[in-house]
Amino acid sequence: MNISHFGLARQYALLKDELLDASHQALKSGQLINGEFTKTFEEWLKMKTRTTYAITVHSGTQALEIIARWYGKSPASTGTIQLPNLTYPATLNAFLTAGWKVELCDTNNHGIFVPDEIGGFPACVVGLYGKRPSNLRFGQDLIVDGAQHWLIANGAVGKGMAISFDPTKNLPSSGNGGAIVTNELGLYNFALAYRSNDMEEHLGPGTNSKMSEQDCAQILVRTKYIDAWQCRRQEIANYWIDSFKELPVRCLCEKTDTTSSVAFPPTEHAYQKFVIDVGGNRNSLYTNLLLDGIETKIHYGYTLGELPVAKHLQIDKPDMMSVSIMLSRGVLSLPMYPELTDLETEYIADQVCKFYDK
């Protein structure tokens, strides 16, 4: 049995006719950007995230950078932002590009950084692997990197939340894409101008950052299935959590009661990734699963503070015994997507269990 880490080819096979028809409808209109498909998708995003404003941009990284640039002009800005030490480098890059100084902060054992609400610098929180950061609330003075958990944000977007539609995400674009969702009119107006080179006023710098009509048309097809896909991800996660409970393996998500209508689809974890912490066994398990035909990934095998781009960051970087660094040495992501069959789901669990039986 051969199981790839991502299931995009399977998804395309199931949705081929709808996706091709969506492309046809977008292309025949002759309005290839800023058309009806873009507007419809932005309306859907507002509804899904329970926010007032949504604006699509070229990528999740650019969405976060635009929020960072806007927030940097606010009275709350100190010029320094707190970021979690364990996340994808794009989070760090967005703030460095926007001119912020960065303080890297340690995470808890789920990879989540929860900033201290008493004093300190402004912060950006990340829903790592799809887990919803705790204590987020409506209107909180934070920036939210929601690339992995935005589907369960439920209005808790801080001053603004960045979304990614990278093809590896739960709701993938066929190319690239991102969005900003917010309840702040000032951020919305800033993003509208910035993504179009500030074409109206030319009062400040900007960039060209848009999703195409074709991308928006295709992603609208996928929005029809996203709730069912999320439920399937939850079913797979629950099965693996049960399967691994007697192993020296820690799942970085909790089992959810699927009998509750409130918790189904998931509300505390979006299951963007299914990550296990296996400590010093990671390389051996990775190799064994690959020999068994199961492609796994490491998200992430390093922390931000260890990257060359972070060498100049002198503010209290977590040390080598920090939680975030220890996590980076032991995490392994199993392939997880709605198109996995029950047989494949069981096979993956069986092979992990057999590794520990040895």
Q: What would the DSSP string read from start to end of 221-284?
A: HHHTTHHHHHHHHHHHHHHHHHHTTTSS-EESS----TT-SSSSS-SSB--S-EEEE-GGGHHH
If phi over 0 gives left and psi between -120 and 50 gives alpha, with beta otherwise, what is residue 120? left
Q: Report whether 348 contacts 286 (CB < 8 A).
A: no
Instruction: Report residue 159 as tokens.
Output: 């001053």
Burial class (CB in 10 A: 0-12, 13-18, 19+), 248: exposed
SS3 (DSSP) at 287 = helix
Q: What is the DSSP string of 14-57?
A: HHHHHHHHHHHHHHHHS--BSSHHHHHHHHHHHHHHT-SEEEEE
55 pLDDT higher than 60 = yes
Give the integer Cα–Cα distance in Å for 160 and 227. Answer: 23
Beta bridge partners of residue 251, listed in sequence order: 276
Residue 262 has pLDDT above 70, yes or no: no
300 φ, ψ to 5°?
-135, 150
Pair 357, 26: CB distance under 8 Å: no
pLDDT of residue 249: 96
Report the amino acid identity of residue 82.
Answer: Q
Question: What tens digit of pLDDT does each residue of 71-103 get?
Answer: 988 766 778 899 999 999 999 999 999 999 999
Between 260 and 118, the higher pLDDT residue: 260
Quote the pLDDT of residue 1.
Answer: 87
User: At 11, is the secondary structure helix, strand, or coil?
Assistant: helix
What mean pLDDT do residues 33-39 have? Answer: 93
Summarised one tens digit per residue, pLDDT across range 101-115 is 999 999 999 999 988
**pTM, 2 dp:** 0.93
At residue 298, does pLDDT exceed 70? yes
Q: Is residue 343 helix, strand or coil?
A: helix
φ, ψ of residue 180 to 5 degrees: the values are -115, 130
Percent of the chain beyond pLDDT 70? Answer: 91
Predicted confidence at residue 207, as pLDDT, reads 85
Task: Record the tokens describing residue 86, joined without a space.
Answer: 């364990």
| CATH number of the 226-357 domain | 3.90.1150.10
Can you give the pLDDT at residue 206? 82
- Residue reference for tokens 């299935």: 225
**Given this model, what pLDDT does residue 75 score?**
67
More confident residue, 77 or 219: 219
Distance CA 52, CA 174 (A): 26
Q: What is the CATH number of domain 8-223?
A: 3.40.640.10
**pLDDT surpassing 50 at residue 276:** yes
Give tens-digit pLDDT for 307-338: 998 888 755 667 777 999 999 999 999 999 99
pLDDT of residue 48: 96
Where are the chain's structural domains? 8-223, 226-357
pLDDT at 118 over 50: no
Residue 198, Ramachandran bin (φ over 0: left; ψ between -120 and 50: alpha; else beta): left
- 208 confidence band (pLDDT: 50, 70, 90): confident
Give yes or no on whether 8-223 and 226-357 have one common fold. Answer: no
Q: What is the pLDDT of residue 234?
A: 95
Q: Is 178 exposed, middle or buried (0-12, 13-18, 19+ CB in 10 A)?
A: buried
Tokens describing residue 9: 């080819």
Q: Could you identify the residue written with the tokens 């949705």?
A: 15
**Which residues neighbour 201 within 8 Å (Cβ) at sequence distance 6 or greater?**
193
Rounded Cα distance, 34 and 133, in Å:
33
Pairing of strands 178-182, 160-164: antiparallel
